[in-house]
Structure 1
């Protein structure tokens, strides 16, 4: 029945507006809003399937009866009815409640029997078989929906922050990519400039051609630029020479370190062979250092003077430790020396060791032959 055919004033008694059993399929919200006196609204036993978004404008309603309709849901802004204390939704088709219903802090009565509620909500709502249970249902539902609203808000904020972070990461990646592209462009530009300078040496650093002396003597050569280029070339040569010296010192240090480790192992296993090899290594080191430039000789001698006492101390400690271990493990040593299987194994190891010593000697001889050649090349580049 259309709302305009109902005289709402005739249905008003004290503060209660009774529109039950009026065959309504739509709530006359505008007409009801004009009756501010009606704080109790009865819309039960009608054909309502929805309330509409403007239903929440009836903020003066304190008691609302929507039982025995065909409502499937409540509007999302239903929580705007902040004065609502009594809500009857008995026998409808409601499955969910809007989160805004958690804003109804004044709600003291809620009846949701005979509704196809989802299991979780049905568990919170409870049976509502008497006044006390309906009151508990109102409190539990409001608290539950408040918690759900907080969780939804936290999830929304988390997704918002995650989206913001992803956007920042994308912007950072784009910025880094842009910087890399700029660096590549600058490198390519430098390479092109260097190639151009190699092809045409008469260009200065800023790309201006230098005048050449013509047969007629019209052009005057600029000696200042030649001197500048010579100084620059000398500076570059000095840098290259310093780099070569650093590299050479690193190689010498590595060879010295490996020599110390090898000599320590040899001293522990075979003292006689160690003394022989030590003499050979020192001779090779002195020969190599003598063929180097004077600054390198100085650093090399300092290195040997520093390493040699440390190595001798290590050898002495190793010898003492070996002697003590030998005294304490004499029985094991006797077994070790008399067992046939162990002796066969040791013979194999000695063969391998002899072969290794031969290879090491060949390597040192090769190095002693190649280092002077390398030093001569360095001298030519430096001097």
Structure 2
């Protein structure tokens, strides 16, 4: 292949016309042409063009365009943006189809499509175009054909969109109905289970009622009182342990060490995103222990310094000693 010849487009410009015919071009210099904004006529005939660049349709000031005697196989989809075209020569190319936007070329008065391998439907509309009158008729018929085709496509697209929207709405309604149905079934099952439990409990109670007497009631009361006692003992024990751990009494050092190890293991097992909450909880417990410790130490200090309390404890000691002496003497 020979070296690519660089064309000076400005030198080919004369009174709004650019003649780039027979320039051995295989691509259109759209950017250079666009700089000459007053260009209304462009001759690109007798070159080696296979297709037009995507930005070719930006040359919207063109009224005359000659693309004859090239090897163009297709035109850009937005070719109809060249709406000012009145003359278009596509003689002897390799076009089989024309873009749908051709219907926008409403000002087109001349169109030559001879010697193109057009599909039969388009070739029939284009006609023979043997003279100027035939090319005028070709332009009119092709633009009308593509306008109608565009309208039909738009109508079909609109129908499809409406059908799609309708189907989407039907699907949405079905999903809503299915959700409602599942919800009702769950509520019904829950209600049936509740009624079944109530019925079973009622039957059990009714079976047990004839066998009731005073003795089971006493046992129940005893169980309740023992349960309450155990509950309060646990509360008191928890309070004592809490206070002892707060003031860091030597008795509970092993327990504190065990708890620290337990919390460290627990934190290591918590997922990373929840770990800050665990640390925050532990810190809150530590703060509460500090408060408890301060209150306890103040209470101990108060007991050790208050004279009335000291006298009260001394009287208790004296009473204890007297009772001890009396029990020893009686023996």
Deviation at 1:191, TM superposition (A): 1.3
Aligned ranges 1:32-71 → 2 under 5 Å: 32-71=33-72
**Partners of 1:47 and 1:171 in 2: CA distance:** 56
Structure 1 residue 202: deviation in Å? Answer: 8.2
Q: Which residue of 1 aligns with 2:127?
A: 126
Partner of 1:189: 190
Partner of 1:138: 139
Compute the TM-score of the two structures, normalised by the length of structure 2. Answer: 0.60
* Separation in 1, partners of 2:10, 2:176: 70
- Match for residue 148 of structure 1? 149
1:46 is paired with a residue whose SS is coil
Per the alignment, residue 87 of structure 1 pairs with 88
Q: Show the counterpart of 1:99.
A: 100
Shift of 1:95: 0.6
TM-score with structure 1 setting the length:
0.52
CA–CA separation in structure 1 for the residues paired with 2:47 and 2:18:
15
Question: Any idea what SS the aligned residue of 1:185 has?
Answer: helix
Residue deviations 1:139-178 (CA, integer Å, cap 9, x gap): 1111110111111111111111111111111111111111
Alignment match, 1:165 = 166
Q: Secondary structure of 1:201's match?
A: helix
Query: Any unmatched runs of 5+ in structure 1?
Result: 204-212, 220-383
Q: How does 1:297-312 map to 2 (within 5 A)?
A: none
Structure 2: stretches of 5+ with no match in the other structure: 205-211, 222-331
Q: CA RMSD in A?
A: 2.2
Which whole-Å CA distance do the structure 2 matches of 1:9 and 1:65 have between them?
18
1:51-109 Cα distance to aligned partner (Å, 9 max, x none): 11100011111100000101011001111111111000000000111111111111100
Alpha-carbon distance in structure 1 between the residues aligned to 2:120 and 2:213: 102
Q: Measure how far apart 1:43 and its partner are.
A: 0.2
Alignment of 1:194-233 (within 5 A): 194-201=195-202, 215=214, 216=217
Q: What residue in structure 1 maps to residue 8 of structure 2? A: 7
1:287-307, Cα deviation, whole Å (9 max, x unpaired): xxxxxxxxxxxxxxxxxxxxx
Residue in 1 that maps onto 2:74:
73
Deviation at 1:13? Answer: 2.5
CA distance in 2, matches of 1:52, 1:214: 104
User: Deviation digits for residues 178-225 of structure 1, max 9, x if unmatched?
Assistant: 11111111111121112111111189xxxxxxxxx9735999xxxxxx
CA separation of 1:193/1:19 partners in 2, compared to 1, >3 Å: closer, same or farther?
same
Tell me the SS of whatever aligns to 2:202.
Answer: coil
Inter-partner Cα distance in structure 2 for 1:188 and 1:17? 84
Alpha-carbon shift at residue 2 of structure 1 (Å): 4.6
The SS at the match of 2:171 is helix
1:105-158 Cα shifts (integer Å, max 9, x gaps): 111000000001111111111111111110011011111101111111111111
Q: CA deviation at 1:14?
A: 2.3
